[in-house]
Amino acid sequence: AQSVTQLGSHVSVSEGALVLLRCNYSSSVPPYLFWYVQYPNQGLQLLLKYTTGATLVKGINGFEAEFKKSETSFHLTKPSAHMSDAAEYFCASLQAAGNKLTFGGGTRVLVKP
């Protein structure tokens, strides 16, 4: 069974600093990969996704993620944190041959002024 691991349930960054959220998947076949953001008491919004092709994926709000097959990783980055980036972030995978999303445990980001 596939699984998704997000290292660190909480991350604190200073405004203007680099944001790095880690995600690793376990799957024998590279899956589709996603990053979602959730603001308090709201649903999840897609930030970006990797399906095929270019391994560096750019998303909304200045975020990007790189798919590294050799490391089974899909880490999310943003060069400069903004106060509005404070939220919870979820990494997810979906097997091409399957039909069930698998989520990581989530990482809550706190941005300090």
Kindly state the smallest distance separating residue 49's Cβ from other proteins, in Å: 6
Give CA–CA dist 25/46, Å, rounded.
18
Q: Is 35 helix (H, G, I), strand (E, B) or coil?
A: strand
- The secondary structure of 36-85, three-state, reads EEECCCCCEEEEEEECCCCCEEECHHHCEEEEEHHHCEEEEEECCCCHHH
- Closer to other proteins by CB, 94 or 111: give it: 94
- In whole angstroms, the minimum distance from the beta carbon of 82 to other proteins comes to 23
Query: Which one, 83 or 97, has the nearer CB to other proteins?
Result: 97
Contact set with other proteins (CB under 8 A): 9, 32, 34, 36, 41-46, 49, 51, 90, 92, 94, 96, 99-106
For residues 65 and 48, is the Cβ–Cβ distance under 8 A? yes
Rounded to a whole number of angstroms, the minimum distance from the CB of residue 90 to other proteins is 6
Of 17 and 59, the one with the shorter C-beta distance to other proteins is 59
Report residue 100 as tokens: 């069930």
Q: Nearer to other proteins by C-beta: 32 or 66?
A: 32
CB of 42 to other proteins, least distance (A): 6
Amino acid at 26: S
